[in-house]
Structure 1
Amino acid sequence: MTVLTALLVYFGWQRNDVMTDRLGIEESILGQSTRDYLLRSVRPALVLLLVIAAGGLIWLQLDRVLAPRIRERGAADRVVRYSLRLLTWAWVLLPLVVFVFGTVSGAFVFTGGQEFAFIAWPLSIGAGALLTYYGMHLRGTVAPDKEPLLRIFVAITVVVMLFWGTSNYATLQGRTLADRLIGNMRGQNEVTVYSSKRLFLTGAGVAEAELPGKNNAYSYRYSGLRLLAHAGGRYFLVSDQWAPGKGAVMVLREKDSALRMEFSRS
């Protein structure tokens, strides 16, 4: 549970960091809490966890067939012999297969294959280490006095590769979210801001209007704004014609009593 929680928090932070960097703002500005990272990471991280669970189920089926065969027929059996060879070199073979797949996909301009290889590369190293460790147990070549150290080193390798694979997956997710926002800014909520004092919100497409009357609760209205994000009790707004590097991101506090905001979709 500790490793899983750490993975979810790290995934949420890394995805946000990549997304905000692509949008041209600093991740810390969002002010998201650990709870925010956890809740926003559960859904996309489920895919990664399901892949790991599926790999574990495949290994259990392999063990169910292979372990009894080794006890009954020994290493002289052809299936056993080749299986043990594959397991022994799994730490090299699995990453090599992923690398070749990614290279071939790149040659044929198959983006999906390259993205899969980008995520699977570190995971294949961890899975290969586990399979090699499993093969050593089947062969009975693990010395009892070295068993604790071997377990520690394998566990460290697997955990590091999990975080590496999670980082790569979060990087792709962050890029996708940022590109979706940039390419579909018109699909974001339109925001109209009413304020009791002048805010000097400026940007291409932003219109400021002074409201008539002396006893109004709000004296100024700002239109032509879009909601970029809502996090940490703050609204992050941009103009209609905003793009990374072209225009500023405006930050308004959610609990500011001098403001009122209206949200709509065009």
Structure 2
Amino acid sequence: MIDAGTEPEPGGFPRWLPAWAAAIGPVTLISAVLFYFGYVSSRAQYEYFGVDVDVIGLGTRDYIMRSPQPLLVPLLTLTLLGAGGLLVHLLLHRRVLAVLASPSVSDVVRTRRAHQARRITRAAITLGAFLLTSGIALLFAYETLQEWPAYALVTPALLICGASLVAYAWRFADLITAAAPASEAPAPVDADPAPGLRRSARFLVYLLLVTAIFWATATVAQLTGRGLAREVAADPERLPRVILDTRERLYLRNGIVEETQLPNAEHQEFRYRYRRLRLLVIGEDRMLLVPDVWSASNSTIIVPIDESMRMQFQFQNDAP
């Protein structure tokens, strides 16, 4: 007996396959986005210590697990802006659209309110176009302003604000047209000489908005990664303390890490011991160690996880 859920369709595929495909698509997209922002944040964080993140050997899961922190501020910001925009839309709907659509309101009042709404819409489009133009001007001025610290945040912020205003003003103008009195309604859409051009313009504005949001979020992720690195450098005590034994001398010249020569003994393969080291991060087959005091002359030590090194992790100085 064949289960109805697995019975093949005429094309030869089980009936549940399209549903699974529809679910897998968004999950894959979300995972890719989380991976990207986790990677951007980690790259900025470990560049502070002079390490290319690709050297560490972190996996996809590691980057996804590191993404919530750099995404926290952008997500909260977008949520608050979305809530504020929804409140503004509800207010305009009650003050404008509800009046235009109400049969109990005279045509004179509805016409006057439609004129006022269109003036506000034109003002919003003008302001949005100005912000968009300013953001695009900053894009073309990249060679001159690329050293400006706020460039990577101000430019996408202008594009986001401008594109949002223009997109919403266009949408609100459509709602006004649909609710306005017949005497105030413009020519039908079929009479528009370039409806395809208008749709293309709206698509480009939406695409610009999504791209600017992605750019701003990536910038925040970079700043978050650099901020995490500075916090670690300012307080290395939060990192695990490591004692490292090696067979060969490391020739560290920073004056912070303490080197001790181990006594010769039978079956003793390790000759040098190093203290005042901290575990920065552990990858698939290697560890990255840093001195427990930050200095511009410090270097990050890459230690393979094999028999060539011997490590001890010390307890914290916090008695139970």
Partner of 1:101: none
1:34 paired with 2:60, answer: yes
> What are the equivalent positions in structure 2 for 1:95-244 lying under 5 Å apart?
119=153, 121-140=155-174, 144-146=195-197, 148-195=199-246, 197-198=247-248, 200=250, 202-203=252-253, 204=255, 205-216=257-268, 220-241=272-293, 243-244=295-296
8 Å contact kept, 1:7–1:166: no
Partner of 2:13: none
8 Å contact kept, 1:207–1:224: no
SS of the residue 1:23 aligns to: coil
1:10 and 1:79, CA in 2 relative to 1: closer, same or farther beyond 3 A? farther
SS of the residue 1:225 aligns to: strand
- In the superposition, the TM-score normalised over structure 2's length comes to 0.63
1:89 and 1:207, CA in 2 relative to 1: closer, same or farther beyond 3 A? same
1:72 paired with 2:72, answer: no
Deviation of 1:59 (Å):
2.3
Deviation of 1:161 (Å):
0.5
Greater shift in the superposed pair: 44-53 or 224-233: 224-233
Q: Distance in 2 between matches of 1:129 and 1:10?
A: 24
Q: Distance in 1 between matches of 2:201 and 2:31?
A: 25
Deviation of 1:259 (Å):
3.3
Alignment root-mean-square deviation, CA: 3.5
After superposition, the C-alpha distances for 1:170-196 in whole angstroms (9 at most, x for unaligned) are 23213212222332235533210235x
1:19 paired with 2:45, answer: yes
Greater shift in the superposed pair: 47-56 or 122-131: 122-131
8 Å contact kept, 1:192–1:263: yes
1:97 and 1:210, CA in 2 relative to 1: closer, same or farther beyond 3 A? same
Greater shift in the superposed pair: 124-133 or 3-12: 3-12
Greater shift in the superposed pair: 141-150 or 47-56: 141-150
Q: Distance in 2 between matches of 1:131 and 1:42?
A: 29
8 Å contact kept, 2:261–2:273: yes
Q: Distance in 2 between matches of 1:165 and 1:51?
A: 11
SS of the residue 1:170 aligns to: helix
Unpaired stretches in structure 2, ≥5 consecutive residues:
1-25, 101-109, 136-148, 178-188
SS of the residue 1:226 aligns to: strand
The one of 106, 124, 135 equivalent to 1:87 is 124
The one of 81, 84, 102 equivalent to 1:55 is 81
- In the superposition, the TM-score normalised over structure 1's length comes to 0.74
Deviation of 1:127 (Å):
3.9
SS of the residue 2:278 aligns to: strand
Q: Distance in 2 between matches of 1:76 and 1:150?
A: 29
1:185 and 1:249, CA in 2 relative to 1: closer, same or farther beyond 3 A? same
* Structure with larger Rg: 2
1:89 and 1:39, CA in 2 relative to 1: closer, same or farther beyond 3 A? farther
8 Å contact kept, 1:201–1:250: no
Q: Distance in 1 between matches of 2:218 and 2:231?
A: 20
8 Å contact kept, 2:243–2:273: yes
1:240 and 1:64, CA in 2 relative to 1: closer, same or farther beyond 3 A? closer
Q: Distance in 2 between matches of 1:234 and 1:91?
A: 51
Q: Distance in 2 between matches of 1:232 and 1:75?
A: 69
The size of the alignment, in residue pairs, is 247
8 Å contact kept, 1:201–1:222: no
8 Å contact kept, 2:41–2:70: no
Q: Distance in 2 between matches of 1:220 and 1:250?
A: 15
